[in-house]
């Protein structure tokens, strides 16, 4: 069995949707797909992705990204409503949103957000970051409170693992900022505060995974840090061909 990984499909773009629909209906029938969020902010497109991917892979396991929780162009009033709707839609297609126990592997999805543990954003960054216009977090004091909420939802999974078989964790958001390469120009680092939370790192370390899959940054990357392999295989936007391979990645096989 092969474990494939992809994130940030962004099938709002015609080219990305065409790639998804063009995946072989035969080659991956015995494979599992780790789907790391940011499919689309349009529910019909999310449903399209779930429909096709469930026909392509034996199993699919999913966490939502920030774009998936945008409520602009919808009748929803809160991004938690969007989370619940997306979660229920996934389940209706037989897509896993909680821990997947395979015969020789456990895959654990970790929900998250960003809490500025990677730095505090400038006013320019705050003004330009679309989440602040496209999401609604009424009732939460700040982004740290949103992050705590999602991290709290992960807790049951952290307490119900099998210690005798390997584990893979995955999230949409980054668990640590040093997965980003040193060559990123300083002027591009204004988005770092929005990339994730160190709380994710604390949680994944509690289950001692062999690897952690993440998305969000769009920068394909594979790096080992403190005994864990961190992998990003974002599909990304159509014009991001220099930082994304735009193909499935087999991250594990048994």
CATH code, domain with 53? 3.60.21.10
Question: Using one digit for the tens of pLDDT, what is the confidence trace for 203-215?
Answer: 999 999 999 999 9
Task: Report pLDDT for 75.
Answer: 92
Please answer whether residues 65 and 217 qualify as being in contact, where contact means their C-beta atoms are separated by less than 8 angstroms: no
Residue 152 CA to residue 167 CA, distance in Å, equals 20
Q: In Å, how far are 100, 108, 116, 173, 208 from 176, measured between CA atoms?
A: 24, 18, 11, 9, 15
Q: Is this prediction's pTM over 0.95?
A: yes
Domain residue limits at 162: 2-253
Gap between the Cα atoms of 73 and 132, Å rounded: 15
Total tally of structural domains belonging to the chain = 1
Beta bridge partners of 33: 4, 60
Q: How confident is the model at residue 160 (pLDDT cuts 50, 70, 90)?
A: confident
The 10s digit of each residue's pLDDT in 83-141 is 999 999 999 999 999 999 999 999 999 999 999 999 999 999 999 999 999 999 999 99
Structure tokens at 146: 């949103």
Residue 1: band (very low, low, confident or very high) from pLDDT cuts 50, 70, 90: very high
- pLDDT for position 74: 87
Task: Report CA torsion sign: 61, 106, 213, 18.
Answer: negative
């Amino acid at each position: 069995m092969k474990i494939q990984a992809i994130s940030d499909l962004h099938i709002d773009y015609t080219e990305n949707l065409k790639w998804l629909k063009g995946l072989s209906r035969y080659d991956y029938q015995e494979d599992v797909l780790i789907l790391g969020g940011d499919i689309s902010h349009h529910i019909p497109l999310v449903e399209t992705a779930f429909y096709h991917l469930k026909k392509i892979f034996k199993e699919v396991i999913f966490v939502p990204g920030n774009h998936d929780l945008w409520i602009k162009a919808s009748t929803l009033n809160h991004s938690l409503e969007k989370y619940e709707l997306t979660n229920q839609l996934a389940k209706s297609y037989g897509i896993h949103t909680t821990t997947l126990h395979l015969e020789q592997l456990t895959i654990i999805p970790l929900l998250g957000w960003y809490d500025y543990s990677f730095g505090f954003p400038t006013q320019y960054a705050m003004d330009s970051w679309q989440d602040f216009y496209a999401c609604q977090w009424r009732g939460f004091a700040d982004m740290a409170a949103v992050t705590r909420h999602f991290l709290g939802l992960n807790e049951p999974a952290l307490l119900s693992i099998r210690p005798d078989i390997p584990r893979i964790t995955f999230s949409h958001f980054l668990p640590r900022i040093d997965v980003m390469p040193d060559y990123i120009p300083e002027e591009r680092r204004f988005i770092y505060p929005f990339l994730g939370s160190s709380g994710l790192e604390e949680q994944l370390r509690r289950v001692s995974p062999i690897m952690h899959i993440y998305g969000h940054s769009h920068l394909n990357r594979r790096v080992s840090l403190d005994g864990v392999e961190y992998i990003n295989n974002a599909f990304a936007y159509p014009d991001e061909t220099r930082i994304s391979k735009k193909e499935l990645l087999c991250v594990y096989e048994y």
